[in-house]
A and B are shown apart, each in its own frame.
Chain A
Amino acid sequence: MTQKNRIQSGGRVDRARALSFKFNGKSYQGLQGDTVASALLANGVNVVARSFKYSRPRGIISAGAEEPNAVLQMGATEATQVPNVRATQQELFDGLVCNSTNGWPNVDFDVMGIAAKVGGSMLTPGFYYKTFMYPQSMWSTYEKFIRKAAGLGRSPRENDPDSYDHIHQHADVVVVGAGPAGLSAALSAARSGARVIIADEQSEFGGSLLHSRENINGEPAADWVQKAIAELATFPDVMMLPRSTVNGYHDHNFLTIHQRCADHLSDKAPQGQIRQRLHRVRAKWVVLATGAHERPLVFANNDVPGCMLASAVSTYINRYGVVPGKNLVLMTTNDHAYQTALDWADAGRKVVAIVDTRPNPEGDLVEDAKRRGLHIITGSAVIEAHGGKRVNAVSVASINENGESVTGKISRLQCDTLASSGGWSPVVHLSCHTASRPAWNDEAVGFVPGATIQNQLTAGGINASYGLGDCLKEGTAAGNEAAMNAGYDVSATAPELKVEAISEGAPMALFHVPHSRPTSRAPKQFVDFQNDVTAAGIELATREGFESIEHVKRYTAMGFGTDQGKLGNINGMAIAAKSMNKTIPETGTTVYRPNYTPVSFGAIAGRHCKELFDPKRFSAMHKWHSENGALFEDVGQWKRPWYYPKPGESMQDTLDRECKSTRESVGILDASTLGKIDIQGKDAREFLGRVYTNPWAKLAVGKCRYGLMCGEDGMVFDDGVTSCLAENHFLMTTTTGGAAHVLEWLEIYHQTEWPELEVFFNTVTDHWSTMTISGPNSRKLLSEICDDIDLDKDTFRFMDLREGTVADVPARVYRISFTGELSYEINVQANYGLYVWEKLFEHGAKYNLTPYGTETMHVLRAEKGFIIAGQDTDGSLHPYDLGMGWCVSVKKPFSFIGKRGMAREDCVKPNRKQLVGLKTKDPLTVIPEGSQAVLDPTQPIPMTMLGHVTSSYYSANLGHSIAMGLVRGGLDRMGEAVFYPQPDGSVIEAEICSPVFLDPEGERQNV
């Protein structure tokens, strides 16, 4: 066996199932049940990363989500690359490939490492701000170098082959964490009949019990875990989610859970399986049983590989059968960490010494260690570690009672592993997500959850309750309370769980171990490993005047890494507090935001990607459009035909052909996407008069009218034709993109301002298929398949509507026109849309019936000077600015929406931007849309701009370009020249003219 640190028995790994994996290009063996971290430690791998700023070698420090160093890039292929994978959480599978993310070109030879040796003392907090700020133009150059050197992982360059998913959940009680407190909470809630979700980030439920040596009810704790899981599985309304991190706790008890369904199986999820799932959970009550993270102590060179958390060492021994070294020195401020020395000795390796910072430790575990003959040095601390890529010795010295200074002489102990414990930090992160600030608990030496307005309970380690008996008790109570609050009967009592009590001495509140030299002169003492923040850096920040802990955080970057400072933050705050002569509660703490650990983009996107990224809306005739070569344009979510090129045609060729055929014979447009709102009620007409600018009182049944809609500010936001179907019944059309907004606009006025008006609004956009035939032959074409409407020009007049059948399908036919040609808009129930469309083409061949899309529609309407709301308007133009004062009725008795607004002083002042036509001096030049108008193109930059071009096309029918645009005072400048300077230095000259370029008398539509 090449796994030199693997012990022969014990742990939850399967020694019969060896797995191969690659780390930094080298092959290793691990076991089923390993994490990448435990497998690397089993193989004696010391260096897993280079640090962010100083490029120092770093090793595995923890055994869980708090890991700052062993953050890897994973993936056997380009497409399966995943950054930010914590080796301590990623389960090993056969064929796993991973690499260090920091270190360029590699972790063992590092360019930045050399740079850091030269410039190390220079890299103080604020270094990046101070050094790279100037000149600003160089930032992009610096940034590339810094980012490459820092190496924070990378995303794949190929499409991810896996599927990700979202699922919505609802629960009475969500329990976060499946350690002793979480499991007992879930059990008691489940027994009441409540709907329970229990989630835990680890591969197995059990938390600390998976490596504990304690008994519950006289049985090994792990056996109790199995029984608890088996009981939970009997409840139909209990969902158990292992490998599932509750990453976010949001308002009103909404949680996001990131479940890794197949990350532990293979590089790519097995066929048909989802790789990761994001659960979006609404909980009535939440029980946080998130436990605690052990706090490392801050001392000189505390980042040398081989320095680890005491509890992590125990976890590797007891859960994974891995002893990560040969000779251990343990430094502790508390009793609990003694267990690590006992575990180490039990594994048959040498405990060099237990260095206890307390002068007189006492407690069951201390006594155990004494009985076992372990060497205990009291009232002392490891003040410095020695070694390069691995610890080879530590310096130990006695310290004073409050831990502020070294009091004795320094001795050196040889060892390869230094485990440290500064006590525990409750995992309060989730409780902070909802803006609850943690509260300092002096006795427990840590922050616990503060007051919250959420329906939240806590149990176990998060409350700084670390004894197993307390965890179980608090869990049971919290589960009961949560279920009761959610309305369940919890009177049935559960059997009490018996646990042997362990007596513990008081811990010492020590964060920063003193050194014989001042902090700024001593070797680096790391607080935040991921961002290379040192104790000296924090002290410097406070000296430079950063007194708020939030400012210290931002200045030093403490806690800004992907680990969110899970290990370092409390130490950092303690150091900041001490250097400002304040207490920790006075200094306060920073808080945490979602997500607790990094979430892949795949899980965030779920199924909302590729074809399903955004809904695509189709008309009933879509199939015909795509079969007939249409290219599509997005209008809102609609896919509208843009133009229909024939083989060999350029876009302009197509537009020229479509425009000419329409004006010369007949063209057809799918207008189904226009918003359509059915308006019924005795006050429908009154309502129209209030929301449109023009009069509606006298519109006769069977007639249509164009209307402009303005906001209260007087600015145009939508337009369309509304027809009168019956005295109390109208059909309003809106722009395609504005449909939903207009409907909500009508509703808000009806519901909040004028509820007394009897009127109902319903969308019928999707119900009708609308096809517009336009051109001099449109009547002939229509007459071939419509024999029950009198199409005579004097009977069925412009702006009339009729009911009849078209191609045997009942239809409403509107004689309205957006092209200025004789036009009929045929509306049929959408189930018959494609049928009627095809029938029109069967009869249309002899008229060269030409389908046209939105682009030709734009050209044809621009030839007539018709606006498109949203293209020629931008929310700053009232009807008069558009030259559409004819569409405003100031005589209407009711002060319609927009009337007061457009009378504001600013709206009636001279020289407003106004919409005009533009004729280029060179008839073939098309002014780019968006070009800015100036009066004198030779004036110095920045020039005085008068407005911009809103619509601009080449008109094949006219043989020259046409444009509309805004020009200050434009309506009074007819015939004047304006100039449009272009980015290439050229200038396009145009003459201001009427926007109606074709048929100003409107004769073509009146035939």
Chain B
Amino acid sequence: MFHIYCPHCEDHREEEEFHASGEAHIPRPLDPQSCSDEEWGEYLYFRKNPRGLHHELWVHAVGCRKFFNITRDTVTYEIKEVYKVGEKPSVTSSEKNQ
């Protein structure tokens, strides 16, 4: 059971108030029609699923209904930071992201 700081409510809340919405920072291609099938498939289905630091999109579903990002260690489940949509993470993996 995570204890998650909601950057909009500015308060720690229990995990049951939130839903995870998968990997963060997967922008919708600006011109979908110019994407090849492979590019569109990458956008739709392919995710990093790393061991270690992971940037995730969560929503405070039973609360303010706002989406925000979490940087979480998938091994220890530590939440390293939360940040609003549109912001960049300050904690990043030393490995190069593809």
Contact = CB atoms under 8 A, between A and B. Distances in A.
B14 interface: yes
Interface stretch (A245-253, A483-491, A967-975): A245-253
Contacts of A895: 31-33
A922 interface: no
Interface stretch (B46-54, B61-69, B88-96): B61-69
Nearest to A762: B65
Contacts of A899: 32-33
Interface in B1-45: 1-3, 14, 19, 21, 27-28, 31-33, 35, 37, 40-41, 43-44
Contact of A744 (B2, B14, B61): B61
Contacts of B33: 895, 899-900, 903
Contacts of B57: 752
A744 B1 contact: no
A748 B59 contact: yes
A751 B32 contact: no
Interface in A227-282: 250-254, 280, 282
A611 interface: no
A905 B32 contact: no
Contact of B2 (A251, A751, A755, A900): A251
Contacts of B78: 453
Interface in A673-715: 712-713
A292 to B, nearest CB: 27
Contacts of B21: 748
B27 to A, nearest CB: 7
A751 B37 contact: no
B11 to A, nearest CB: 13
B76 to A, nearest CB: 5
B3 A252 contact: yes
Contacts of A903: 33
A752 B32 CA distance: 16
A747 interface: yes
Nearest to B32: A900
Contact of B77 (A252, A747, A748, A904): A252
B76 A755 contact: no
Nearest to A754: B28
A346 interface: no
B77 A900 contact: no
A103 B45 CA distance: 54
Interface string A902-922: 011100000000000000000
A365 to B, nearest CB: 43
A744 B65 CA distance: 8
Contacts of B76: 435, 453
B13 to A, nearest CB: 10
Interface residues of A, number: 25
Interface string B71-85: 000001111000001
Given A900-B35, A905-B37, A752 B67 contact: yes
A467 interface: no
Contacts of B32: 895, 899-900
A901 interface: yes
B3 A254 contact: yes
Interface string A358-387: 000000000000000000000000000000
B44 A712 contact: yes
Contact of B1 (A250, A435, A713, A905): A250
A436 to B, nearest CB: 10
Contact of B59 (A280, A747, A905): A747
Contacts of B59: 744, 747-748
B40 A755 contact: no
A250 B76 CA distance: 11
Contact of A713 (B44, B61, B66, B67): B44
A713 to B, nearest CB: 6
A933 B52 CA distance: 48
Nearest to B73: A453
A282 B2 CA distance: 10
A541 to B, nearest CB: 29
A807 to B, nearest CB: 35
A989 B28 CA distance: 46
A794 interface: no
A635 to B, nearest CB: 21
Interface in A511-537: none
A753 interface: yes
A941 to B, nearest CB: 34
A901 B61 CA distance: 27
A713 B40 CA distance: 9
A571 B36 CA distance: 61
A748 B14 contact: no
Contacts of A712: 28, 43-44
A712 B79 CA distance: 30
B52 to A, nearest CB: 13
A747 B61 CA distance: 11
Interface centre among B21, B35, B57, B76, by most A CB within 10 Å?
A: B76
Given A251-B2, A252-B3, A747-B59, A901 B86 contact: no
Contacts of A250: 1
B18 to A, nearest CB: 12
Contact of A254 (B1, B27, B44): B1
Contacts of B37: 904-905
Contacts of B3: 252-254, 282
A254 B28 CA distance: 37
Contacts of B67: 747-748, 751-752
A713 B41 CA distance: 9
Contacts of B1: 250-252, 254, 280
Contacts of B27: 753
B77 A755 contact: no
Contacts of A751: 66-67, 85
Nearest to B43: A712
A966 B31 CA distance: 33
A368 B33 CA distance: 90
Interface centre among B1, B14, B40, B65, by most A CB within 10 Å?
A: B1
A197 B38 CA distance: 56
A252 B2 contact: yes
Interface centre among A713, A751, A752, A903, by most B CB within 10 Å?
A: A752
Contacts of A282: 3, 14
Interface centre among B32, B41, B44, B65, by most A CB within 10 Å?
A: B32
Contacts of A904: 37, 40-41
A712 B39 CA distance: 13
Contacts of B43: 712
Given A252-B2, A748-B21, A755 B85 contact: yes
B51 to A, nearest CB: 13
Contacts of B44: 712-713, 901
B77 A753 contact: no
B17 to A, nearest CB: 12
A755 B65 contact: no
B35 A251 contact: no
Nearest to B77: A251
A752 to B, nearest CB: 5
A748 B27 CA distance: 12
B65 A747 contact: yes
A757 to B, nearest CB: 13
B58 to A, nearest CB: 11
Given A751-B66, A904-B40, 8 more contacts: A253-B3, A453-B76, A751-B67, A752-B57, A752-B67, A755-B85, A900-B33, A905-B37
Interface of B: 1-3, 14, 19, 21, 27-28, 31-33, 35, 37, 40-41, 43-44, 57, 59, 61, 65-67, 76-79, 85-86
Interface of A: 250-254, 280, 282, 435, 453, 712-713, 744, 747-748, 751-753, 755, 895, 899-901, 903-905
8 contacts: A252-B77, A712-B43, A751-B67, A755-B86, A899-B32, A900-B33, A903-B33, A904-B40
Leading 9 A-B pairs by shortest Cβ distance: A900-B32, A252-B3, A254-B1, A895-B32, A751-B67, A251-B77, A453-B76, A250-B1, A753-B28
